[in-house]
């Protein structure tokens, strides 16, 4: 266990955390605003990857695939929210089960449309290289993931803190009742946030697709990890999602490297502890 | 009420007797399916105690099934224990270990309410899955554990009809004991907590303790289902403990009708039928499963059990429709 | 309220009764029908492998128009989702409801271990065309009298592969493989043979099955090893070489056959060129029989056959051969097993016969990934070029059956990693 080991592992953990942030920030926002435990979030991630592949196959452009996939899935999320989730009103249990139903529907649809192949998104050549710094190899793609996550994080933060719509969202998170009282259209806010969550997850899917591959079952494989992030960081908090992603990325990475026998346990046990001691997570508010 | 109630009980007993009589004469695959459905029926009823009667939607009920199942498998393969009359000891141990697990988990989970309860039970369930998946030396990891043939003690459980009778017996006993439980003063106070916890606390009830005990009882019945599941299947695998099993259990209860016990059993029958039988008929069975989830949530707020009353409600004046039992609210 | 319960219950019963009816009405059938149950994952992570498996068998059936020497083949495919418990449930259905004469397939080695006892319990022939769990035809063979393997044991190709590694002059090798029975047995076989000829395995790393981020594992690989031995399945196969390359590791890579199987090869990039693996089949095998097989398969299904396709195609061929001997009559489970086990056949993978424990003896090919044109196709593609052939390899290799069966089955800890640092 030399410095080499620690440097590379820490870098890997951080870059994995970056990917988790893309996935989990949307989940966290959806939870904060709508109190919905969205078990279809992994499906948005996977659908994003698949749509991106279709765009790449037809146009050959990786850059174009990113926005197209993200917006397409955002529309799916928007429709899902309007037609099914909204009419339910506030009822966490039924909302959870409804999203599970959609997860199954999406899974079967993806299988029918894209087949069961193990696919891979190939990024431009420049991202397939490695940067060599001081004898360490840092894969460009991992650096790129960190860059995207930071950029998205900053944009989200600025939107939430500095814009009118951000203020509306924050008010809804704090107290939906009150927000409605002062004339905020919380239904519109919810719709926007759910679409934004789907957008971010799909973006994660496109970015992550080059790193994890795209295959049926990825949706349910990635979901529990996203929940670990949100639970540890605190539901509804952007800072929480960022810190949670880092913690989970590092814990998962070092857990697997150092104590592989109980690696999943090292992921979920802290989650339970935090829930027991501070149910709202590190940065969540009651 | 008593007249009406007696009639209802009679009808359930009649239906159960019909299952008991008809099943052994069905195809041998149907016997296996019904056995599986009954086992999941026990799991669903255990969850109904939490969800339907106490208002606690647990997303980790598969954990207790897993504890019972893995205990059975480990004892059978490592210590050759539970292969004869000691099977009954394993049943007791399975219930105890699951109840003990629930007692431990409950310390974390019970203080959470509403959607946080969903999340923490999900996390606890994932912990058990993580152990089953990665603790290779004990659980065999992803391979799972293949059990030796079913126990024999004068009666051969290896025979599927015999095993069906055994499972049916456990199911009937579970239904009866749980029914007595929900009709007891303790059961009534659980419903009171579901309806208005604050009021119950003001009335002097220790609501935490009530919920905690309900949680442990539910875990114990889950463990029983686990022991039976391991023997039914001859195989225990991390797949039995995954999130989807817990979510399915929730669907069973919601589909059948929460707070009715039997509703969960009916839901179990339908979900087992979809997963195990429909998937052999059509390749796109996941559409049906997903569709059942969505349609149940959108159009069956009281589950199947609430359906007749809804139909009657739509025909009769609104006053009667008011009693339609809908899902307990789990908001905080 | 309870009256509704009762009413719904009785409806449930009607439904069950209906299911029972359809199940029972099927009589054990005319003598000329051969019912074959086939288990393959058609949903989930391994859906594409499942398709390859089914296509292989189906293609043979289509060639003979579903007729095995007069027996009409009824081919029933069930989705086992790549999960052992689901496999068990589906087999119960195939046997009890469809009354199949035999069931074939299953994907994972763990599924094989789970299905074999069902074959014994329900007295039905099990033809293991894919699950490669060693002990099915080794130490546990006596427990499964109705099981025949037409595929391979996990360690089988890796014994000669270990010897080949010695010949290349590799002395110290690190192993990184998926953490489940199949991975353990593949690595075990390689290690046993490699250390028998003087090599040393200096490290073993076990990422969980389904790992796709190898970030935690790649940095722990020993820097001073001569080569890396790896075994990956499904989506893992795709990500590992990529992440290895971008971490700047340029050591020679050896792999269990499934790591570079043709089902995933088209999605791979140039980073796998030069990687070497061992298996009893390669689509790049340049025999007339195989070239014809590849062309026909590709024309029909639009992709190069994988070993999953070949193994099931060959299995169909072998069953047909048995039925020829019985003139299309089902000879009974035990007799069928006996006949199948005595078969000798020229197949796409080369000559195949079965040993006395009902496991194939066949060629093992050492294959190197190359980008080239082959079989007359116009495009440069990745192929598993055969660089060496070990003819007629049995599951016991050169160790001798008696001695080999005395050692425990290969596992995480056997052979012990006595050179691990």
In this structure, what CATH number is given to the domain that contains residue C119? 3.40.50.2300
Q: How far is C6 from chain B (nearest CA, A)?
A: 5
Q: What does the pLDDT read at residue A114?
A: 87
Q: How far is A135 from chain B (nearest CA, A)?
A: 34
In 3D space, the residue among C328, C324, C299, C261 whose CA is nearest the CA of residue C48 turns out to be: C261
For residues C280 and C385, membership in a common domain is answered with yes
Q: How far is C306 from chain A (nearest CA, A)?
A: 13
Q: How far is C91 from chain A (nearest CA, A)?
A: 23
Q: How far is A4 from chain C (nearest CA, A)?
A: 8
Whole-angstrom Cα distance, residue B300 to residue B228? 31
Grade residue A233 by pLDDT with cuts at 50, 70 and 90: confident
- Asked whether residue C255 is assigned to any structural domain, the reply reads yes
Q: How many CB pairs under 8 A join B and C?
A: 160
Q: Cα–Cα–Cα angle for B321, B325, B331, nearest 5°?
A: 125
Mean per-residue pLDDT of chain B = 87
The number of beta carbons lying within 10 Å of the beta carbon of residue B310 is 17
Q: Which residues of chain A lie closer than 8 angstroms to B63, CB-CB? A: none
Whole-angstrom Cα Rg for chain B = 20
Q: What does the pLDDT read at residue C2?
A: 44
Enter the tokens of residue C209.
Answer: 């099955």
Whole-angstrom Cα distance, residue C343 to residue C127? 14
Q: What does the pLDDT read at residue A200?
A: 93
Q: What does the pLDDT read at residue A196?
A: 92
pLDDT average, residue stretch B258-265:
91
Q: Identify the DSSP state of C90.
A: H
Nearest beta carbon to residue A130 from set C207, C238, C246: C246
Chains interfacing with A (3 or more CB pairs < 8 Å): B, C
| % chain C with pLDDT above 70 | 93
- Asked whether residue C227 is assigned to any structural domain, the reply reads yes
Is C239 in CB contact (< 8 Å) with chain A?
A: yes
Residues C280 and C157: beta-carbon distance below 8 Å: yes
Is B27 in CB contact (< 8 Å) with chain C?
A: yes
Cross-chain Cβ contact C9/B15 below 8 Å: yes
Q: Identify the DSSP state of B273.
A: I
Residues B120 and B111: beta-carbon distance below 8 Å: no
The number of beta carbons lying within 10 Å of the beta carbon of residue B92 is 12
Nearest beta carbon to residue A117 from set C48, C210, C269: C48
Q: What does the pLDDT read at residue A180?
A: 85
Which of A214, A215, A266 should one mutate to test binding to chain C, selecting the residue with the greatest count of C CBs within 10 A?
A215
**Is it the case that residue B289 has pLDDT exceeding 60?**
yes
As for how many domains chain C has, the answer is 2
Cross-chain Cβ contact B129/A264 below 8 Å: yes
Q: What does the pLDDT read at residue A210?
A: 86
Whole-angstrom Cα Rg for chain A = 19
Reported as a single tens digit per residue, the pLDDT across C276-299 is 999 999 999 999 999 999 999 999
- Asked whether residue B170 is assigned to any structural domain, the reply reads yes
Is C120 in CB contact (< 8 Å) with chain A?
A: no
For residues C81 and C28, membership in a common domain is answered with yes
Residues B141 and B134: beta-carbon distance below 8 Å: yes
Q: Which residue of A has its CA nearest to C213?
A: A212
Q: Which residue of A has its CA nearest to B296?
A: A98
Q: Identify the DSSP state of B112.
A: -
A174-178, A248-252, B67-71, C168-172: range with lowest mean pLDDT = A174-178
Cross-chain Cβ contact B277/C93 below 8 Å: yes
Is B286 in CB contact (< 8 Å) with chain C?
A: yes
Is C44 in CB contact (< 8 Å) with chain A?
A: yes
- Asked whether residue C140 is assigned to any structural domain, the reply reads no
For residues C97 and C239, membership in a common domain is answered with no
Q: What are phi and psi of C389, to 5 degrees?
A: -120, 125
Q: How far is B252 from chain C (nearest CA, A)?
A: 14
| % chain B with pLDDT above 70 | 93
| % chain C with pLDDT above 90 | 70
Q: Which residues of chain B lie closer than 8 angstroms to C12, CB-CB? A: 266, 269-270
- Asked whether residue C146 is assigned to any structural domain, the reply reads no
Q: What does the pLDDT read at residue A234?
A: 83
- Asked whether residue B228 is assigned to any structural domain, the reply reads yes
- Asked whether residue C301 is assigned to any structural domain, the reply reads yes
In 3D space, the residue among C9, C19, C28 whose CA is nearest the CA of residue B30 turns out to be: C19
Which of B62, B280, B311 should one mutate to test binding to chain C, selecting the residue with the greatest count of C CBs within 10 A?
B280
Q: What are phi and psi of C398, to 5 degrees?
A: -95, 10
For residues C278 and C295, membership in a common domain is answered with no
Q: What does the pLDDT read at residue C415?
A: 92
For residues C315 and C374, membership in a common domain is answered with no
B139-143, B214-218, C298-302, C411-415: range with lowest mean pLDDT = B139-143
Enter the tokens of residue A217.
Answer: 């079952």
Reported as a single tens digit per residue, the pLDDT across C59-77 is 999 999 999 999 999 999 9
Give the A-side interface with C, CB within 8 Å: 4-5, 8-9, 12-13, 15-16, 107-108, 111, 115-120, 122, 128-130, 132, 137, 139-142, 211-213, 215-218, 221, 252-257, 260, 263-264
Cross-chain Cβ contact B262/C5 below 8 Å: yes
As for how many domains chain B has, the answer is 1
Whole-angstrom Cα distance, residue B154 to residue B36? 24
**Is it the case that residue A174 has pLDDT exceeding 90?**
no
How much is the ipTM here?
0.83
pLDDT average, residue stretch A209-229:
86
- Asked whether residue B304 is assigned to any structural domain, the reply reads no
- Cα distances (angstroms) measured from residue C403 to each of B292, C163, C410: 56, 18, 14
For residues C62 and C209, membership in a common domain is answered with no
Q: What does the pLDDT read at residue B271?
A: 92
Grade residue B3 by pLDDT with cuts at 50, 70 and 90: low
- The answer to whether the Cα torsion of B308, B314, B316, B319 is positive or negative is positive
- Asked whether residue B81 is assigned to any structural domain, the reply reads yes
- Asked whether residue B285 is assigned to any structural domain, the reply reads no
Q: Which residues of chain A lie closer than 8 angstroms to B135, CB-CB? A: 261-262
Which of A104, A175, A223, A274 should one mutate to test binding to chain B, selecting the residue with the greatest count of B CBs within 10 A?
A104
For residues C322 and C368, membership in a common domain is answered with no
Query: In chain C, what are the helix, strand and coil shares in percent, each to the nearest 5?
Result: 40, 20, 35
For residues C338 and C231, membership in a common domain is answered with no
In 3D space, the residue among B320, B231, A141 whose CA is nearest the CA of residue C271 turns out to be: A141
- Cα distances (angstroms) measured from residue B34 to each of B31, B167, B269, C87, C217: 5, 10, 7, 18, 45
**Is it the case that residue C28 has pLDDT exceeding 70?**
no
Domain span including residue C242 = 158-284+363-406
Domain span including residue B222 = 35-250
Reported as a single tens digit per residue, the pLDDT across C161-176 is 999 999 999 999 999 9
Helix axes B160-183, B207-233, angle to 10 degrees: 170
Whole-angstrom Cα distance, residue B332 to residue A90? 11
Cross-chain Cβ contact A256/C43 below 8 Å: no
For residues C231 and C296, membership in a common domain is answered with no
Q: How far is B204 from chain C (nearest CA, A)?
A: 31
Q: Which residues of chain B lie closer than 8 angstroms to A105, CB-CB? A: 286-287, 290-291, 294
Q: How far is A230 from chain C (nearest CA, A)?
A: 20
- Cα distances (angstroms) measured from residue A42 to each of A48, A177, A201, A208: 10, 30, 8, 12
Cross-chain Cβ contact A212/C46 below 8 Å: no
* Greater pLDDT, C336 or A119: C336
Residues A111 and C47: beta-carbon distance below 8 Å: yes
- Asked whether residue B22 is assigned to any structural domain, the reply reads no
Pairing of the two strands C344-347 and C350-354: antiparallel
CA torsion angle for A141, A147, A153, A155 (degrees, to 10)?
-120
For residues C183 and C196, membership in a common domain is answered with yes
End-to-end CA distance of chain A: 42
The number of beta carbons lying within 10 Å of the beta carbon of residue B85 is 12
Reported as a single tens digit per residue, the pLDDT across C123-159 is 999 999 999 999 999 999 999 999 999 999 999 999 9
Q: Which residue of A has its CA nearest to B293?
A: A101
A176-180, B42-46, B214-218, C310-314: range with lowest mean pLDDT = A176-180
**Is it the case that residue B41 has pLDDT exceeding 60?**
yes
HSE-CB for B181 with a 13 A CA cutoff:
23
Nearest beta carbon to residue A104 from set B59, B118, B286: B286
Nearest beta carbon to residue C5 from set B12, B33, B273: B12
For residues C117 and C192, membership in a common domain is answered with no
Q: What does the pLDDT read at residue B330?
A: 44
**Is it the case that residue A131 has pLDDT exceeding 70?**
yes
Grade residue B315 by pLDDT with cuts at 50, 70 and 90: low
- Name beta bridge partners: C76: C37
Q: Which residues of chain C lie closer than 8 angstroms to A217, CB-CB? A: 44-45
Nearest beta carbon to residue A269 from set B127, B251, B290: B127
For residues C253 and C398, membership in a common domain is answered with yes
Query: With 0-12 CB in 10 A as exposed, 13-18 as middle and 19+ as buried, what is B69?
Result: buried
Mean per-residue pLDDT of chain C = 89
DSSP string, C258-310: GGG-TTTGGG--GGGTT-EEEES--TT---HHHHHHHHHHHHHHSS---HHHH
Q: What does the pLDDT read at residue A215?
A: 87
- Asked whether residue C152 is assigned to any structural domain, the reply reads no
């Amino acid at each position: 266990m030399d410095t080499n080991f620690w440097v590379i592992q820490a870098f890997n953990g951080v870059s994995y955390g970056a990917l988790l942030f893309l996935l989990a920030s949307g989940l966290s926002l959806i939870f904060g605003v709508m109190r919905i435990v969205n078990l279809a979030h992994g499906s948005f991630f996977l659908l994003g990857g698949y749509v991106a592949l279709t765009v790449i196959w037809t146009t050959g452009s990786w850059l174009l695939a990113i926005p197209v996939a993200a917006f397409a899935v955002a529309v799916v999320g928007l429709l899902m929210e309007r037609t099914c989730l909204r009419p339910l009103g506030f009822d966490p249990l039924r909302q959870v089960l409804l999203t599970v139903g959609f997860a199954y529907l999406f899974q079967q649809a993806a299988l029918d449309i894209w087949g069961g192949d193990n696919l891979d998104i190939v990024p431009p050549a420049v991202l397939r290289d490695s940067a060599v710094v001081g004898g360490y190899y840092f894969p460009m793609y991992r650096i790129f993931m960190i860059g995207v996550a930071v950029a998205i994080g900053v944009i989200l933060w600025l939107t939430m803190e500095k814009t009118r719509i951000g203020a509306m969202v924050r008010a809804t998170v704090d107290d939906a009742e009150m927000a409605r009282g002062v004339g905020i259209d919380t239904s519109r806010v919810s719709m926007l946030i759910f679409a934004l969550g789907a957008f971010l997850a799909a973006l994660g899917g496109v970015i992550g697709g080059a790193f994890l591959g795209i295959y049926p079952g990825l949706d349910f494989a990635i979901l529990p990890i996203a929940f670990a992030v949100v639970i540890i960081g605190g539901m509804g908090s952007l800072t929480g999602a960022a810190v949670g992603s880092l913690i989970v990325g590092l814990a998962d990475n070092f857990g697997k490297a150092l104590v592989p026998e109980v690696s999943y346990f090292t992921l979920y046990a802290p989650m339970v502890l935090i829930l027991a001691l501070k149910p709202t997570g590190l940065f969540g508010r009651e | 009420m008593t007249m009406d109630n007696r009639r209802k009980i009679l009808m359930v007993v009649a239906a159960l007797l019909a299952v008991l009589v008809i099943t052994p004469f069905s195809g041998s695959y149907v016997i296996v399916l019904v056995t599986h459905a009954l086992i999941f029926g026990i799991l669903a009823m255990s969850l109904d105690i939490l969800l339907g009667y106490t208002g606690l939607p647990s997303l980790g009920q598969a954990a207790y099934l897993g504890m019972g199942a893995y205990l059975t498998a480990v004892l059978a393969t490592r210590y050759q224990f539970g292969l004869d009359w000691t099977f009954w000891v394993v049943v007791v141990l399975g219930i105890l270990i699951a109840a003990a697990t629930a007692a431990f988990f409950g310390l974390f989970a019970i203080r959470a309410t509403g959607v946080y309860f969903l999340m923490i039970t999900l996390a606890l369930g994932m912990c058990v899955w993580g152990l089953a998946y990665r603790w290779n030396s004990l659980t065999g990891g992803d391979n799972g554990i293949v059990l030796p043939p079913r126990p024999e003690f004068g009666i051969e459980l290896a025979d599927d009809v015999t095993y069906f009778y055994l499972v049916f017996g456990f199911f009937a006993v579970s239904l009866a004991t749980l029914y007595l439980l929900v009709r007891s003063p303790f059961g009534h106070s659980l419903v009171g907590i579901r309806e208005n916890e604050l009021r119950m606390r003001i009335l002097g009830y220790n609501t935490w303790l009530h919920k905690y005990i309900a949680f442990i009882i539910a875990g114990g019945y889950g463990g029983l289902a686990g022991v039976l599941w391991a023997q039914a299947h001859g195989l225990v695998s991390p797949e039995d403990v995954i999130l989807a099993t817990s979510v399915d259990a929730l669907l069973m209860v919601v589909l059948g009708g929460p707070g009715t016990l039997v509703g969960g059993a009916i839901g179990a029958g339908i979900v087992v039928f979809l997963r195990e039988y429909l998937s052999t008929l059509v390749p796109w069975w996941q559409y049906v499963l997903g569709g059942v989830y969505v349609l149940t949530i959108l159009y069956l707020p009281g589950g199947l059990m609430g359906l007749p009353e809804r139909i009657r409600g739509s025909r009769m004046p609104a006053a009667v429709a008011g009693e339609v039992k809908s899902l307990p609210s789990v908001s905080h | 309220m309870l009256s509704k319960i009762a009413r719904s219950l009785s409806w449930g019963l009607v439904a069950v009764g209906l299911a029972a009816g359809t199940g029972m009405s099927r009589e054990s059938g005319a003598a000329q029908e051969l019912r074959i149950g086939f288990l393959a994952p058609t949903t989930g992570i391994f859906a594409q492998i499942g398709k390859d498996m089914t296509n292989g068998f189906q293609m043979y059936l289509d060639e003979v128009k579903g007729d095995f020497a007069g027996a009409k083949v009824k081919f029933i495919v069930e989705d086992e989702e790549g999960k052992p418990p689901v496999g068990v449930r589906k087999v119960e259905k195939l046997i009890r409801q469809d009354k199949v004469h035999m069931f074939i397939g299953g994907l994972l080695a763990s599924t094989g271990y789970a299905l074999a006892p069902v074959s014994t319990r329900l007295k039905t022939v099990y033809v293991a065309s894919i699950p490669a769990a060693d002990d099915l035809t080794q130490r546990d063979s006596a427990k499964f009298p109705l099981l025949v393997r037409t595929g391979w044991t996990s360690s089988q190709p890796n014994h000669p592969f270990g010897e080949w590694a010695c010949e290349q002059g590799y002395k110290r090798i690190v192993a990184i493989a998926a953490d489940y029975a199949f991975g353990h047995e593949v690595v075990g076989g390689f290690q046993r043979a490699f250390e028998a000829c003087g090599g040393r395995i200096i490290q073993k790393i076990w990422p969980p099955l389904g790992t796709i981020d190898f970030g935690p594992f790649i940095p722990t690989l020993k820097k001073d090893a001569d080569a890396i031995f790896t075994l990956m399945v499904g989506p893992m196969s795709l990500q590992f070489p990529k992440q290895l390359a971008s971490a700047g590791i340029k050591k020679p890579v050896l792999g269990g056959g499934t790591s570079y199987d043709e089902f995933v090869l088209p999605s791979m990039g140039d980073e796998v060129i030069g990687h070497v693996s061992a298996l009893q089949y390669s689509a790049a095998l340049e025999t007339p029989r195989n070239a014809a097989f590849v062309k026909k398969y590709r024309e029909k299904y639009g992709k190069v056959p994988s070993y999953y396709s070949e193994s099931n195609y060959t299995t169909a061929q072998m069953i047909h051969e048995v039925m020829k001997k019985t003139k299309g009559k089902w000879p009974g489970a035990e007799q069928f097993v006996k006949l199948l086990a005595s078969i000798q056949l020229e197949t796409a993978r080369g000559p195949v016969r079965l040993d006395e424990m009902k496991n194939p003896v066949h060629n093992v090919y050492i294959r190197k990934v190359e980008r080239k044109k082959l079989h007359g196709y116009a495009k440069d593609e990745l192929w598993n070029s055969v660089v060496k052939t070990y003819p007629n390899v049995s599951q016991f290799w050169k160790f001798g059956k008696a001695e080999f069966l005395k050692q425990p089955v290969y596992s995480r800890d056997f052979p012990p990693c006595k050179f691990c640092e």
